[in-house]
Chains A and B, each alone.
Chain A
Amino acid sequence: MTRTLKLTGQGLALAAVAGLLGLLVWRLTHQAHPPKIGGPAPNFALRRVDGTGKLDLASLRGKPVVINFWASWCVPCKGEAKMLEQAWQQYRSQGVVFVGVDYHDVASDARTFLAHHGITYPTVQDGSGMIGDRYGLTGVPETYFVDRKGRLVGTHIIGTITNQASAFQRGIRAALQQ
């Protein structure tokens, strides 16, 4: 009886330690790694903020895509909104698609932001920030460029495009060239 009890206790303790170790291994192996330039752009299918339904990045395969992460509470995002809209108007005839990803934001505030700044390109909502995490986002705004094959190209822009206009142009050209 005593021996059985002792063995049961030891078994339970071992199982608990093994479980904790398993959790640690799972956490380490499932950590999000930022995508590499030249590698595939993490896919997403997110709810539209500017309309109904979802937008699936995979459905844009074959088109160069500019992905801009932003939020209505982000002050620098207001500064680059006009330039993004102008660039969208400039490049849309060449088949470039702009996608705004509204990060950790209240949807109604995001819609107010879009209306205020006259943004007309599609915008999706990443309320939980899961997609931002997959892209290795360090904050907002950040901008990525995706070529026709769905690969990340150019230089990932951290901060506003207004301060990095040449990198922004190079990114769009890189997306168009592939």
Chain B
Amino acid sequence: MIAKVFAVAAAALALAGPASACAHPKTSLSYLEGQIMCPTCHTTLDMSEAPAAQQIKAQIAKRISECWTAKRIEDELVGNFGQGILAAPPHKGFDLLAWWLPLGGVLGGALLLAVGVWRWSRTREPEPPEPDEESDPETERRLDELLARLD
């Protein structure tokens, strides 16, 4: 029990240390863990317990405690590991294609679908008119006869 209390106190102190260094952190570890990849296991940090991922998490926690912004931390990691460390490609240059191509594909598909539906509705043949039973004189005559017999 005493050991548990000491462990909790030690953890609280460890957390309190960085917090005291930066009163108003500009980002959070949980946010960046979803934005940064583990270089050895190719998943985001929040999905990995690999040693390399643990090391990067520690580095991020250290930078957060120094009041670094998410952008600055990401830039440092890109400088260290290359662009592949980012879970999502940046919104500039050639990497923009990764953002716009799927959107273009969806819009193109929707456009094709709309054109297809429009064409289908235009070329559909009109249904043949239903036979007008009332205008058949023979049937009317026979019906009158039948009714007259019933009277």
Contact = CB atoms under 8 A, between A and B. Distances in A.
Interface stretch (A60-68, A104-112, A145-153, A154-162): A104-112
A23 to B, nearest CB: 12
A12 B105 CA distance: 11
A71 B56 CA distance: 12
A75 B55 CA distance: 12
B115 A127 contact: no
Given A2-B119, A127-B80, A127-B82, A105 B55 contact: yes
A22 interface: no
Nearest to B122: A2
A104 B52 contact: yes
A106 B115 contact: no
Interface string A68-95: 0001111100000000000000000000
Contact of A106 (B40, B80, B82, B108): B80
A108 B77 CA distance: 12
A104 B53 CA distance: 10
A75 B51 contact: yes
B39 A106 contact: no
Contacts of A106: 55-56, 59, 80
A9 interface: yes
B97 interface: no
B55 A109 contact: yes
Contact of B82 (A5, A12, A71, A128): A128
A74 B115 contact: no
Given A71-B52, A73-B54, A74-B51, A9 B81 contact: no
Contacts of A107: 80
A129 interface: yes
A73 B59 CA distance: 12
Contacts, number: 39
Q: How large is the interface on A (under 10, 10 to 19, 20 to 34, 35 or more residues)?
A: 20 to 34
A73 B81 contact: no
Nearest to A106: B59
Contacts of B96: none
Interface string B57-68: 001000000000
B11 interface: no
B112 interface: yes
B89 interface: no
A140 to B, nearest CB: 9
Interface of B: 39-40, 51-52, 54-56, 59, 80-82, 84, 108, 112, 115, 119
13 contacts: A73-B52, A73-B55, A104-B39, A105-B55, A106-B55, A107-B80, A108-B59, A109-B59, A125-B80, A127-B39, A127-B81, A128-B39, A128-B84
Interface of A: 2, 5, 9, 12, 71-75, 104-109, 125, 127-130
Question: Which 3 pairs between the two chains have the least Cβ-Cβ distance?
Answer: A128-B82, A73-B51, A104-B39
